[in-house]
Copies of this chain bind each other. A is one copy, B any other.
Amino acid sequence: MEQYIELLKSNKIKVTPQRLAIVELMDVHGHISVRDIFAHIKANFPSLSLATVYKNINAMVESSFIKELKIVGQDAKYELIKEEHSHMICKNCGKVDDIILETNAIVTSASEISNYNIDESSVQLLGLCPDCQ
C-alpha cells in the first residue's frame, strides 16, 4: 500500500482511493484491461465510475509509469513499467506472461540495416501456454 502511495506521489499524481486501487490491481495482475479493472474494483467500491478509470489510466500513461499493451484479438491491457521485458501470449486462453529476453541483437541489427534511429522495441511471442497445450 505504502509503495503505491509512493509511486503516485513520485509521479506528482494526487493520491485517491480509486487510484490506489488501480495501481494495486495492476501490480497484482501484471496486465489488465479497462473492463477488468472496472469490474474488480467496482465489486468492493460500488461508487466507482468507468469515466474515472479512463481518466486515471490516461493520466498514468501520460506520466509514463504505466503503459498500454496492444494485442491482436484482445482488448488493450495496461501494466506498470518495470524492467524491460517481452510478452508471451496464449492463442487459446489469452493469458499473457512476461519473459526477459535479450533483444539487443535485433535492435542493433535493425539499426544497421535501416536508417531508423531505434530506441525501443516490443516483442510478442504467440503460441500455447502450458495449460492449453
Contact = CB atoms under 8 A, between A and B. Distances in A.
Interface string A103-133: 1011101100111111111111111111001
Nearest to A131: B115
A13 interface: no
Name the interface size band of chain A: 35 or more
A118 B67 CA distance: 24
A48 interface: no
A71 B129 CA distance: 24
The 3 closest A-B pairs by CB, nearest first: A118-B127, A70-B70, A115-B130
Interface of A: 67-68, 70-72, 86, 88, 90-91, 97, 99, 101-103, 105-107, 109-110, 113-130, 133
